[in-house]
Amino acid sequence: MQGDGIVIVGGGICGLATALALHRKGIPSLILEQAESLRATGFAITIHTNGWRALDQLGVGSKLRLTARSLDSFHEIFLDKGVDRRFPFGKEEIRTVKRNDLIEAMAKELPAGTIHFGCRVVAITLDAFSSDPMLKLHDGSVIKSKVVIGCDGVNSVVSRFLELKPPNFYDLCAIRSFTNYPTGHGLDNEFTRIRKGGLLVVRAPVDDNIVYWLVGDNCRSRDSSIPQDMEHFKQSIVQKIQAMDPDIVEMVEKSDIHSLSVYPLRCCPPWDILLGNFHKGNVVVAGDAMHVMTPFLGQGGSACLEDAVVLARCMAQTLSLVDLKSNGQLMLWGKATDAFEQYIRERRMRLFWLSLQVYLIGLLDEPSTSTLIRFVCSCLLILLFRDFQGHTKYDCGRL
């Protein structure tokens, strides 16, 4: 495998979006993905207006809209308090997208040979003479590169190289799956969030037959491995949500057991976003590796897409491309560092506000949060985020 140019670590939403954005700007890159094939973690994702803007810049928005269900309102239910209210999304574009559709749409637009599967990066070092990044793979091989972009998610090797602080754990786990209703689910196009005690259930239709759901539950486990006995695990969730409406209990009972996953929620606190050194020389991070957030705003994936557009734009503006006629590949020449500084300048405050909002909501949801802290969080949310959906109005600009 030939490194030499730009190497992206991780072929998830962010890695693929970044490679595609660079490709649209005429800059080749190579993705190293540890899995053996394209792999979507979780069944579906909601993408807000800001994410669709980024997808349009990547040239895959129109295609994805053909299958992504448009949602028209947010339905919030607090069973303990008897609150049941709906907020129309109005002009906002919010759709549920199957994660596989999203990653496949982006991967298909990449030149053949861009993604290298089965390549787990275990360490990064800098060449003693040139300071070029060197990537050590699990099989002992070493790939030399000019630029490394770490899109390797929450347990990022690249973040460790940059000495970023590991994200915090919450006392909450997300249990996710989907349910197929062969004769149709009959639900409105609503994003529904139901709370009862410490339990949270989120539900969104994906198409006429499929519903994506998530149960947020207290947990102290830091292990996202799949439970051994899935049927038993599913029944334990069903037991926990017995006090919810029968259609919710039925949804979980009839869900696809193979898609059931448990994810201990993690989040970068806002001050780490404000102070983090997100690049060192020609190595930079993007996506969850830079700013993992809890799913309370449904913005993690869209923020990855924004990162990709901004990063590729900064790189195209700053770097010169010189055809060194090596294997017919364009090679990079120029100061990647300048591009990364510009990228981080553009992203930092956007990510700070997103992470602050998500952090405050997360504290409200955490069972261990004291009454006083809850009161302070509520006041800050009202004061700073009066327009609660303001985060969806962000425009990452043209590629």
8 Å CB contact between 323 and 334:
no
**Complete DSSP assignment for 337-353:** HHHHHHHHHHHHHHHHH
Strands (DSSP E) found in 228-366: 261-267, 279-280, 283-285, 320-326, 329-333
Beta carbon of residue 46, minimum distance to ligand FAD (angstroms, whole number): 4
Exactly one of 54, 201, 214, 360 binds ligand FAD (CB under 6 A); that residue is 214
The binder of ligand FAD chosen from 29, 46, 114, 177 (CB under 6 A): 46
- Applying CB under 6 A, among 6, 7, 8, 13 the residue interacting with ligand FAD is 13
DSSP class of 166: P
Contact mark string toward ligand FAD, 270..289, x via CB under 6 A = -----------------xxx
Per rule CB under 6 A, is residue 298 in the interface with ligand FAD?
A: yes
Would you count residue 15 as binding ligand FAD (CB under 6 A)? yes
H helix and E strand count, the chain: 12, 21
Instruction: Based on the shown chain and the rule CB under 6 A, indicate whether residue 14 belongs to the binding site for ligand FAD.
Output: yes
Nearer of residues 214 and 319 to ligand FAD, judged by Cβ? 214
Whole-angstrom Cα distance, residue 12 to residue 29?
15
Instruction: Indicate the residue among 3 and 295 with the shorter CB distance to ligand FAD.
Output: 295
Report the residue number whose CB is nearest to ligand FAD: 12
Between CA 382 and CA 89 the distance in angstroms is 19
Binding of residue 3 to ligand FAD (CB under 6 A): no
Nearer to ligand FAD, 273 or 304 (CB): 304
Judged by CB under 6 A, does residue 301 bind ligand FAD? yes
| Residues 58-87: x where in contact with ligand FAD by CB under 6 A, - otherwise, as a string | ------------------------------
Q: In 126-245, where does DSSP find H-type helix?
A: 157-161, 230-240
Reported for 268-276, long-range contacts at CB under 8 A and 24+ positions apart, including other chains, are 268/165, 268/167, 268/168, 268/292, 268/293, 268/355, 269/168, 269/355, 269/359, 270/352, 270/355, 270/356, 270/359, 272/164, 272/165, 272/167, 273/348, 273/351, 273/352, 273/355, 274/348, 274/352, 276/164, 276/165
Among the listed residues 174, 215, 268, 360, the single contact to ligand FAD using CB under 6 A: 174
Residue 121 contacts ligand FAD per CB under 6 A: yes
Size of the site for ligand FAD (CB under 6 A): 38
- Residue placing its CB nearer to ligand FAD in the complex, 7 or 399: 7
- Cα dihedral across residues 116, 117, 118, 120: positive or negative: positive
Q: Considering the complex, what minimum distance in angstroms separates the CB of residue 63 from ligand FAD?
A: 18
Nearest distance, CB of residue 8 and ligand FAD, angstroms: 9
Q: Of 30 and 121, which has the nearer Cβ to ligand FAD? A: 121
Q: Out of 4, 5, 7, 34, which residue is the one contacting ligand FAD (CB under 6 A)?
A: 34
Taking contact as CB under 6 A, which single stretch among the options 181-189, 294-302, 325-333, 337-345 is the one that binds ligand FAD? 294-302
**Nearer CB in complex with ligand FAD: 19/248:** 19
Q: Which of 7, 8, 29, 33 binds ligand FAD (CB under 6 A)?
A: 33
45 binds ligand FAD (CB under 6 A): yes
Per CB under 6 A, does 176 bind ligand FAD?
A: yes
Q: State how far the Cα of 265 lies from the Cα of 169, in Å rounded to an integer.
A: 6
Q: How far is the CB of 288 from ligand FAD (least distance, A)?
A: 4
- Residue 275, beta-bridge partner list: none
N-to-C CA span, the chain: 29
> Is the CB of residue 293 less than 8 Å from the CB of residue 300?
yes
**Quick one: which segment of 59-67, 145-153, 275-283, 367-375 binds ligand FAD (CB under 6 A)?**
145-153
Phi-psi region of 397 (alpha: psi -120 to 50; beta: other; left: phi over 0): left
- Of 78-86, 117-125, 237-245, 346-354, the window that binds ligand FAD (rule: CB under 6 A) is 117-125
**Counting beta carbons within 10 angstroms of the beta carbon of residue 367, is it exposed (0 to 12), middle (13 to 18) or buried (19 or more)?**
exposed
177 with 213: CB under 8 angstroms?
A: yes
Instruction: Write out the residues near ligand FAD by the rule CB under 6 A.
Output: 9-15, 32-35, 39, 41-42, 45-47, 119-121, 151-153, 157, 174, 176, 214, 263, 287-289, 295, 298-302, 304
